[in-house]
Each structure stands twice: as C-alpha cells, then as structure tokens.
Amino acid sequence: MADLGDHLHSEGLLLGVYVRPGGWLTDLNKTILGTDITIGSVCTGDNGLNQCNWDYGADGVQQWHNSVVDLFAEWGVDSTKLDFITPGSPQNGANLPANTSLSAVNYHNAIAQSGRQMRLDISWKLARDDVDFAIWQSNSESFRTDQDINNGGDPTFILYQTVQRAIDNYRQYIVLHTAQDKVLTIYPDMCNMYIANPIAVDGVDSDDEWFTIMTHWIGVGSNLILGSDLTNIDATGMSIISNAEAISVADFAAKNPMRPRNPGTGLGDANNSKHGSAGPIAQATHSSSWPTTVLTKALAVSALVSQECRTLVLHGQIWG
C-alpha cells in the first residue's frame, strides 16, 4: 500500500481509504497495539457488516483507532471515508447501533495524533439536529447530506430525479444550519458526480443536466469527487471537469456556499416548480468581498439554482 501511495502521489493524485465503525469479528481475539486489551473485550455484538460494536470510552478503543490511522499514515493516505455513521445512516440491511457518532471523534483524534494531514469524510444522510451536527462539524471535513445518488446494479450511473432529491436535501441542511454570512467549517457531501461519461452511460438526458449537476456541486461547496468511469471520459465531460473558470468559483464557494431562496417568501422553503426545483433563487454570501470577475461567474452559478433558467446564464458566462 505504501508503494501505491508513493505512485499516486508521484502522479499528483491522492490516496483514500474506506472504513466503517467497529472492529472485525475475525479479530476479536487479537490484542490492540500497545496494550494488553483484546478487541473482543471492548467490541461486542454484530452490526450486520461482519463487525462488532465499540464500547466507546472504554480503555483500548482510542488506542485501536490510533493504531489503524498510524498504519494509514505509513501508507501515505490522504483521505478517510467513514461510512454507516449513526444517527442518520439508513440500516440498508445492516444492524447498526443507534449512535456511533463517537467513532468520528475517535478517528479525528487518531488523525490528530498521527501527525499526518488527512481528511475525514463521514457518511451517510446524517442527523442534522444541533447536538449531532456539532459532533460532525468538530471532527470531520465533510458529511453526507443524503443517500447515494448512483443506481446500484443498473446499466446507467444515475437518475436525474435522484440528483434533484440530493439538491433538496442540501437545501434542508443549509437553511437549518447556516446563518446569512456564516463561513463553512464543514463541507456538505452530496455524493460523487457522474458528469464525465457519454450520456448513455451517466444516465442524464442532456448536456444541460450535466452542467446543472456540476454547477450545484460547485455552488454548495460539496466535495468534487468523480464517480464516472475514468476510462470512458468524453469531450464534453472533460470540458466540464477541467474548466478553469468553474474551478475558480469552486474555490470561493467552498467556504461561502449558495443558499436557496424562495422567490415568493424570500426564505429557504421549497418551491415546487415544474422542474422540481429545490428553491429557485440562490443567494451567495459575502458577495461584496468577491473580485469582480469571480462575482460575475459566481452569480452565474447562483442563477442556475433556478431550474427555470438552469443553464442559460452559465453557458454564456462559464461553460460557454
């Protein structure tokens, strides 16, 4: 794995790993590194994913997380995705404990003690109440605001109505948790983007829907991670993901996201237009601090939150 990390870094790429809360059931008799504590003495039950459930706060639990992240650091890992966190994650056939939020705390602390800069992204469709959100905000770089948008087992990657659901879940989150001029300290993760393959592969109906996905993901400050088949990127897909002007807007929106505004009420409640919009007007914060060129581009992005005019402005200003 260390060789893989070195190779990826030499190519300008990053190495990410995927983890879930709990130790492995096959490891119950193993001793936690640096202790005389067995995993099975502090991790019991079966969460339905071949893993046991930690007794958070017990001696040995943080040490186990430290040992795992130290190994990740030796490999050169840059990002860790921690999935199936509760409260929030649907059971999806598993037997998840009601609350595994302290797993995010344990991984956060483990990353801090490792001495390596490493992202922690937690998932999926996590609870947004103030108590739980404070944990996500203090211990991770991003959190999933919805379920996966991809079509599991289907010949195409996505259905556009699923993308619209993800956009509306973002609206619900941002309206609930951010004041007018609040700068983000945690990123919303709206799932991977499926925008770089031929339309028949991605599952969108038109280039416009591609542009709309990219625009929303940029404008809300989401993780910008491709879920597309990297061996089958077409010309339009390449033009979308390599557009320098769009990326310049993403740099700003990463800290100052769009906030949907209903044109009737001026608030964040949904307006169900004929396109199923999550709220057709967006307001970008701190706009007075934007350089003029960036402001023009960002307002073009903001305009696209309106499904009524979703690509008209952006085509001329950025995607063109």
241-253 per-position pLDDT tens digit: 888 888 888 888 8
Q: Which pLDDT score is estimated for 174? A: 85
Identified catalytic residue from 83, 208, 229, 234 = 83
pLDDT band of residue 267 (cuts 50, 70, 90) is: low
- The mean of the pLDDT values for the chain is 83
Identified catalytic residue from 27, 55, 148, 207 = 148
pLDDT at 43 over 80: yes
pTM: 0.84
- Which of 33-42, 162-171, 178-187 is predicted most confidently? 33-42
195-232 per-position pLDDT tens digit: 999 988 999 888 888 888 888 898 888 999 999 999 99
Q: Which pLDDT score is estimated for 288? A: 36
What kind of fold does domain 1-144 have according to CATH? TIM Barrel (3.20.20)
Token digits of residue 233: 């990127």
Q: Which pLDDT score is estimated for 49? A: 94
Q: Which pLDDT score is estimated for 272? A: 52
**Residue 83 among the catalytic residues:** yes
- Mean pLDDT of the 35-55 span: 97
pLDDT at 30 over 80: yes
Distance CA 66, CA 107 (A): 8
**Residue 148 among the catalytic residues:** yes
Q: 81-110 burial string, b = 16+ CB within 10 Å, else e? A: bbebbbbbbeeeebebbeebbbbbbbbbeb
Of 220, 158, 227, residue with least CA distance to 192: 227
275-288 per-position pLDDT tens digit: 433 333 444 443 33
- Every domain of the chain and the residues it spans: 1-144, 146-320
